[in-house]
Chains A and B, each alone.
Chain A
Amino acid sequence: MILAVLFANSVGNVLIERFNGVPAEERLHWRSFLVKLGAENLKGVKNEELLVACHKSVYIVYTMLGDVSIFLVGKDEYDELALAEAIFIITAAVKDICGKPPTERVFLDKYGRICLCLDEIVWNGLLENTDKDRIKRLIRLKPPSEF
């Protein structure tokens, strides 16, 4: 289960978050935990360099993309490596939409499409589509494979 996908800006404002199977009262904790993790470790990190953390049996993989930090929290089959796969797909999709590692402005300009993309990548806490072209087609309401 991918418990959470969270985008934050460089100063720790949450831009997008998607929680799956996390009780409402724990979300606040995750949010602050992740933002703190990012604040402590993401300074000077290269774009898309993956960082890792774990808490009990829950894994966290996070990275920086332009001005935006991206966090993924998962457990069970979504261990650090599976999350690394997922975050790679997400960063690729975001870069694709924004054209480059996004500044915050650009990210917010494309906010709606990023949400749609995310909807295609992580569906109910499970990784869904991993292929870039396929995601692109799906957010335009085209079938996943075209003829």
Chain B
Amino acid sequence: MAESSGTTLMDLISADPTPVPAQASASSTASQPSPGAASAASHLHHPMPTTTKTTLGERKSKRATLMQIQNDTLSVARAALHPVKANIMPQRQRQKKKPVSYTQLARSIHELAATLDQKSSQKQLVNHVFPKLAVYNSVDPSLAPSLLMLNQQCEDRNVLRYVYYYLARILSDTGMSPGGGIPTPNWDALADIDAGGGVTRADVVPRIVNQLTSEASNSELEFHARRLQALKALTYSPSGNSELLSKLYEIVFGLLDKVADVPHKRKKGVFGTKGGDKESIIRSNLQYAAMSALRRLPLDPGNPLFLHRAAQGVSFADPVAVRHSLEILSELATRDPYTVAMTLEKLASPAGALQDILHLHDVLARVALARLCHSISRARALDERPDIRSQFNSILYQLLLDPSERVCYEAILCILGKHDNTERMDDRATGWYRLTREILKLPEAPSKDKSNKAKRPQPLIKLVMRRLESSFRSFSRPVLHAAARVVQEMGKSRAAAFAMGLQDIDEAVHVNSFADALDDAETNDSSHPEGIRRTSSISAGPGRSETIASLLASLMEVVRTTVACECVYVRAMVIKALIWMQSPHESLDELKSIIASELSDPGWPAALVNDVLLTLHARFKATPDMAVILLEIARIFATKVPGKIDADVLQLLWKTCLVGAGPDGKHTALEAVTIVLDLPPPQPGSMSGMTSIDRVSASDPKSALALQKLVQAAVWFLGENANYAASEYAWESATPPGTALMMLDADKMVAAASSRNPTLAGALTRLQRCAFSGSWEVRIVAVQALTTIAIRSGEPFRLQIYEFLYTLAEGGVQSQLSEMHLSNGEDQGVSGTGLGVLITPMLKVLDEMYVGQDELIKDIRHHDNANKEWKDEELKKLYETHERLLDFVSMFCYIPRAKYLPLGPISAKLIDTYRTKHNITASSGSTDPTVVATGISDLIYESTQPAPAASNSSGLDDDLVNAWAANLGDDGLLGNNAPAMSRVNEFIAGVGTDAPDVEEENVFSRPSVGYDDMWAKTLLETNEMEEDDARSGSSSPDSAGSVESSISSHFGGMNYPSLFSSKPSSQATAKSSGSKYQSTYEGYGSPIREEPPPPYSYSEPPQSRESFENPVAGSGSRNYESDDEEPRKSTGTRFGTALYDFTAGGDDELNLTAEEELEIEYEVDGWFYVKKKRPGRDGKMAGLVPVLYVNQS
């Protein structure tokens, strides 16, 4: 930076112009600030010329104000440049250059405008003042009078061009730094002290508009260039101003009235303007100006005049005007294809103007033409007019031959049915059908002497494949990227076609044979124009032997080689294309090895990796058959780049695949998920790189941490979904509890369990192992997962888990299993496993359930023996126990209250009797009836959404209940209500322009934080704190005895963001660390809609399983958090200074320079998350630094 002297924006404005005479004299009278002033900003102080009108005192105070403003400006300017690293000040100090301040520039303009008659003034303006003013991001309104004066009086074209430029900027200004660059000082403050007196934007805008309007309406021939610029400047005004808008429409239509209707004689085949007469050229220029302005105005779909004028534009001579008119038309056509088609009917005919556009030298015009043709040729409204549709279709197909890739690809995408983001599956499927079946036959070629070859009808698929193959040989990265994207879209359409089961998608058929076969059937079909009429006259050639499959295979071969491209974005797009083109029947090995080797490249940004994961998800949605294949691919991500993937996305993928895998695939799907658990734990000591697919690549502490989170997520997932996958539910279990009690022999029990349900037994074994051998966090989640399964499963699983937990709590098992126990250096705690505190309440709930069951059996026997009827009090007591246990159980995991029987199946009859007697509906009885009365559906769907089954909650379909219980019923296959799904859908639809997340600190200052960022943030911030909390909670002797605090640590420890929606954690954080984070999450346009959690009540099921979808999720955890008495490490902000220089080793880390002052946000695992006072050389404000590098003050 320092070396490139004189080359910064600040230097640009400091470059010394020959001072304007007036200014020079003024500045000579004023005193210079001390050159040796330490503050860099002092160099920017400029003495102000004094005005004779003011008194000395006033002058002084005004000068002080002005200096203050200048100071402010400069510091803002520095701040603006800083994020991107600008170390200008020291350098400038050295150069002793004085920048021209904004005020000085403004003053120069006023003065030069007054002395416009001098040639030097104009020169000064064009060469120095205006270019420098361009550096500032906005132009303050007080300049407007001078600019308008210049506009009226100046003759110099260069000056005038700048004047229009600045007037447009004043008009467009909304005060929100639209132009970038150095911020302009506060206008209002300037206005106060400006010699011109308080000029505000509101004052000048009408004046500017008036002047520009009158210029735009000036019909003098000599004036027409200025007319163009005036009209252009006017279009910059914000569109909110309806008065101005109607004025603009008036001008534009007025202009078009004059220039558009004149019969236009175009020279045949010549689009240039050379050789035209003056009048027609001027007309063409005005046509251009009017059409460009019209393009910037809001569409007016219902207005026939608007459409008429836009359609006239197609025949204009100016290519840019033609482009704008086509763009307008293509936008109108998406809304009202019929009217547009009727208007353009003549133009689309073989000799019409639209055909000419095929040869127009303007790429975007042809792109707009493709879109227009697509909209019209697919319009249902035009079913009555197949002739029109086919004309447009013919043009669209001809665009496939366009020399520009941009146009050709647009045509391919249109044919494939990818038009905008609202495409439907059947459009896609027909798109694929069309691409593989239809034939392009050029209309009679313009020049007859061309070889016959060019005119031979070609199957579209061959054209497209050939084009794409040649594109993949290109060296241009944009071309490669775009080609891969087109292949991806092809894959999407193909998948849709398969999913829809379109007739004969047999890809082994020879491409040309369709034409032959269909020929007879189609010849009478008037819907096909000459252009694409299928014909049997295709000569037999080499193409004869080509099948779609072979064409695709050779294309995919080229696509695969593109993985060698050095650009990671191109590679990502290629992988996405491969994922989409992967068919369920082909071997997966090649794709797997490509992905595995790709992911070993550290150059992949996390956002891109997650994008590919989302692609997998989208692929799954299109082809549910591929669930297992896709899970296998997802596994590679989990093992290769655990630090980069979003566990949230991965879980979503797991879950969708689990549901989609169907009854047969459930077991396999669950196995695929649990593979993550079988991975060896990351060894903190060993940093050696591991390259095998099955080994974990967690070579740095960060990815080790991420892997651990992933394992946690997998364990949690297992706990939540094992019952669903195994179709084992306590409330459906036929085994009476007594049976299990008789099988107390552990071996027998395990044998019985695994023979009964291998899936669940397998899951249990894995979880049990995790409860021993995982890291502390994993063990906690594993125990929770086991409890969940225990509560939800029938016997013998419940008893098996009970026994396991009991042993675990006692700690006795450890000695027996010590060889299994991979110590990771943690203190295992007094109870051996360290889980005793946590397990106690879990055992308690199971204990109570068993005790209750025992008593019930006793009571039943008692009644049976005595042959007594059950009395109402007895039933009431039973019912109360039932409800109490339900409440208790609900604290641990979600269960369908209406069906769940904590006292075992035999209690069902008695409870029913009591309910009938007392008129209690099965689902009520909770202290919070709103939650349960509407059924489970309400918990899963957004509460504003009327749940499909809410009305008949008493008669819920069993499968549905179970799916809901496993929180799976809301998958995208059933509906798209879930917020997490919206992210996937959004991704699939390809919307969203959320700014990319680059740097940590940005998230804090960014109200419209994207979901990704927000998630990442929760992961980084709250999560770590909560884990700290969990750790301290249970290792602290104070909390050991209290159930509340152990629950709090229990949920706190589990409260990683993949499990709960982000809101609770953010709230918890906000609570503990003031309002700092709260602002981060408020007012954003996040795709997740979250409602404030309702006040917690214990009777409400803690919806730990509603992690993704349920907006009220985690209300329980929130409350647990607030119950928590443990002081947090991160409560207060601490300060410190850097002891040494530190070089960041990763994206999350922060470079430090010794002595730098820091704000310590929190500590995690030997790292501080710190914020700097100002951005460092790399532009980063915040990140992780080793604790030892910081001296805490």
Which residues of the partner chain A approach B8 to less than 8 Å between Cβ atoms? Answer: 9, 13, 108
B364, B573, B994: the one within 8 Å of A54 (CB): B573
Is A95 among interface residues, defined by CB-CB distance under 8 A?
no
B367, CB-defined interface residue at 8 Å: yes
Shortest distance between the CB of A147 and any CB in chain B (Å):
4
Using known A-B contacts A13-B86, A17-B180, A124-B236, determine if residue A111 contacts B482 with beta carbons closer than 8 Å.
no
Which residue of the partner chain B has the closest CB to A125? B296
Q: Which of A1-41 contact B (CB under 8 A)?
A: 3, 6, 8-19, 22-33, 35-36, 41
Asked if B478 and A23 make an inter-chain contact with CB atoms under 8 angstroms apart, the answer reads no
Are the C-beta atoms of A13 and B1179 separated by less than 8 Å? no
Question: With a CB–CB cut-off of 8 A, which chain A residues contact B157?
Answer: 140-142
Q: Considering the complex, which residues of chain B in the window 247-279 have a beta carbon less than 8 Å from any beta carbon of chain A?
A: 273, 276-278
A82 near B285: Cβ-Cβ < 8 Å? no
Say whether B9 faces chain A, with CB atoms less than 8 Å apart.
Answer: yes
Question: Contact between B320 and A112 (Cβ–Cβ < 8 Å)?
Answer: no
| Residues in chain B near residue A75, CB distance under 8 A | 993
How far is A85 from B295 in the complex, measured between Cα atoms in Å? 20
Is the C-beta of A122 less than 8 angstroms from some C-beta in chain B? no
Q: Are B1002 and A29 in contact (CB under 8 A)?
A: yes
- Establish whether residues A79 and B996, one from each chain, have CB atoms under 8 Å apart when the complex forms: no
Bound complex: CA A44 to CA B236 (Å): 39
A130 contacts the other chain (CB 8 A):
yes
Closest B residue by C-beta to A56: B992
Tell me, yes or no, whether B130 is within 8 Å of chain A by CB.
Answer: yes
- Do A16 and B181 form a contact, CB below 8 Å, given A10-B4, A82-B363, A82-B406? yes
Are B990 and A57 in touch, CB under 8 angstroms?
A: yes
List the A side residues contacting B410 at CB < 8 Å: 77
The answer to the question of B12 belonging to the interface, with a C-beta cut-off of 8 Å to chain A, is yes
Q: How far is the CA of A128 from the CA of B320 in the complex (A)?
A: 7
Count class of interface residues, chain B: 35 or more
Let me know if B235 and A80 touch, CB within 8 A: no
Question: Quick check: B1008 and A31 within 8 Å, CB to CB?
Answer: no
- Among B281, B476, B478, contact of A83 (Cβ-Cβ < 8 Å): B478
Q: Does B1015 lie at the interface of the complex (its beta carbon under 8 Å from any beta carbon of A)? A: no
Of the candidates B126, B164, B1179, the one having the most CB atoms from chain A within 10 angstroms of its own CB is: B1179
Within 8 A of A (CB), among B160-194: 160-162, 164-165, 168, 176-181
Complex CA–CA separation, A61 to B481 (angstroms)? 11
User: Which chain B residue shows the least CB distance to A61?
Assistant: B478
Q: Is B1145 an interface residue (CB 8 A)?
A: no
What CA separation (Å) do A124 and B231 show in the bound complex? 13
Q: Are A116 and B1008 in contact (CB under 8 A)?
A: no
Contact with B along A136-147 (1 / 0, CB 8 A): 001111111111
Interface check A84, CB cutoff 8 A: yes
Q: How far is the CA of A84 from the CA of B407 in the complex (A)?
A: 13
In the assembled complex, the CB of B237 is this many whole angstroms from the nearest CB of chain A, namely 11
With contacts A32-B84, A54-B481 taken as known, whether A145 is within 8 angstroms of B998 at the C-beta atoms is no
- The segment out of B220-228, B455-463, B748-756 that lies at the interface is B220-228
Tell me if B's interface is mostly helix, strand, loop or mixed.
Answer: helix
Contact between chains at B406 and A81 (CB < 8 Å): yes
* Interface check B1028, CB cutoff 8 A: no
| Contact present for B161 and A141 (CB under 8 Å) | yes
Contact A12 B161 (CB under 8 A): no
Contacting residue for B161 out of A9, A55, A57, A139, CB 8 A: A139
User: Are A112 and B134 in contact, CB atoms less than 8 angstroms apart?
Assistant: yes
A132 at the interface (CB under 8 A from B): no
A interface footprint on B1022-1039 (CB within 8 Å = 1, 0 otherwise): 000000000000000000
For B278, what are the chain A residues with a Cβ–Cβ distance below 8 Å? 147
Chain B neighbourhood of A144, CB < 8 A: 228, 285, 288, 318, 320
Chain B residues, CB < 8 A from A98: none
| CB-defined contacts of B993 to chain A, threshold 8 Å | 3, 22, 26, 56-58, 75
- For residue B538, CB closer than 8 A to chain A, the reply is no
Residues on the B chain within 8 Å of A85, using CB? 363-364, 406
Q: When A32-B998, A105-B6 are in contact, do A52 and B84 touch as well, CB less than 8 Å?
A: no
B236 to nearest A CB, angstroms?
Answer: 7
Residues of chain A within 8 A (CB-CB) of B226 are 141
Known A55-B607, A75-B993, A77-B364; judge A143-B7 contact (CB<8 A). Answer: no
State in angstroms the CA–CA spacing of A15 and B131 once bound together.
13
A-side contacts of B479, CB under 8 Å: 81, 84
Q: Is the CB of B1006 within 8 A of A115?
A: no
Complex interface residues of chain B between 280 and 295 (CB less than 8 A to chain A): 281-282, 284-285, 288, 292, 295
Identity of the chain A residue whose Cβ is nearest the Cβ of B324 in the assembled complex:
A126
Would you call A12 and B1006 a contact (CB within 8 A)?
no
Residues of B within 8 A of A123 (CB): 232, 235, 292, 296
When distances are taken between beta carbons in the complex, the residues of chain B under 8 Å from A6 are 180
Please tell me if the beta carbons of A29 and B162 are within 8 angstroms of each other in the complex.
Answer: no
Q: Are A29 and B364 in contact (CB under 8 A)?
A: no
In whole angstroms, what is the CA distance A23 to B281 when docked? 40
Contact assessment for A56 and B176 in the assembled complex, using a CB-CB cutoff below 8 Å? no
In the bound complex, what is the Cα–Cα distance between A5 and B396 (angstroms)? 31
A126 CA / B364 CA spacing, docked (Å)? 10
Residue of B nearest to A80 (CB): B478
A90 lies within 8 A of chain B by Cβ: no
Tell me which residues from 43 to 78 in chain A have a Cβ below 8 Å from any Cβ of chain B: 50-59, 61, 67, 75, 77
Residues of B within 8 A of A93 (CB): none
Give the shortest distance, in Å, between B590 (CB) and chain A (any CB). Answer: 24
**Nearest residue in B to A106 (C-beta to C-beta)?**
B7
Check: B362 CB closer than 8 A to any chain A CB. yes
What separation, in Å, do the CA atoms of A90 and B1008 have in the docked complex? 31
Q: Among residues 439 to 491 in chain B, which have CB atoms less than 8 Å away from a CB atom of chain A?
A: 476-482, 485
Asked if A104 and B4 make an inter-chain contact with CB atoms under 8 angstroms apart, the answer reads yes
Cβ-defined contact, B225 with A142, below 8 A: yes
A58 to B376: give the CA distance in the assembly, Å: 27
Cα A144 to Cα B477 in complex, Å, equals 33
Whole-angstrom distance between the alpha carbons of A128 and B990 in the complex?
26
B 607-652 contacts with A by CB, 8 A = 607, 611
Query: Is there an interface contact between A111 and B135, defined as CB atoms closer than 8 Å?
Result: yes
**B11 adjacent to chain A (CB < 8 Å):** yes
The answer on a CB contact under 8 Å between A84 and B4 is: no
| Nearest B residue to A140, CB-CB | B157
Q: Is B525 an interface residue (CB 8 A)?
A: no
Q: A127 near B: Cβ within 8 Å? A: yes
Which A residues lie within 8 Å of B991 (CB)? Answer: 56-57
Q: Which of B164, B180, B997 contacts A29 (CB 8 A)?
A: B997
Residues of B within 8 A of A (CB): 1, 4, 6-9, 11-12, 15, 81, 83-86, 126, 130-132, 134-135, 157-158, 160-162, 164-165, 168, 176-181, 224-226, 228-229, 232, 235-236, 273, 276-278, 281-282, 284-285, 288, 292, 295-296, 318, 320, 362-364, 367-368, 371, 404-406, 409-410, 476-482, 485, 567, 569-570, 573, 607, 611, 987, 990-999, 1002, 1005-1008, 1179
16 A-B contacts, Cβ less than 8 Å apart?
A14-B181, A27-B180, A32-B1002, A52-B480, A53-B567, A56-B611, A57-B990, A84-B478, A111-B131, A112-B134, A123-B232, A141-B164, A143-B224, A143-B228, A144-B228, A147-B278
- 17 extra A-B contacts, CB within 8 A, seeds A33-B995, A79-B406: A6-B180, A15-B9, A17-B179, A19-B180, A25-B1006, A29-B997, A33-B997, A36-B998, A85-B363, A103-B7, A111-B131, A111-B134, A112-B134, A112-B162, A127-B364, A140-B158, A141-B226
Identify the 4 closest CB pairs spanning chains A and B, nearest first.
Answer: A112-B131, A17-B180, A29-B995, A104-B7
Where the two chains meet, the residues of A that have a C-beta atom closer than 8 Å to any C-beta of B are 3, 6, 8-19, 22-33, 35-36, 41, 50-59, 61, 67, 75, 77, 79-85, 103-105, 108, 110-113, 115-116, 119, 123-124, 126-130, 138-147
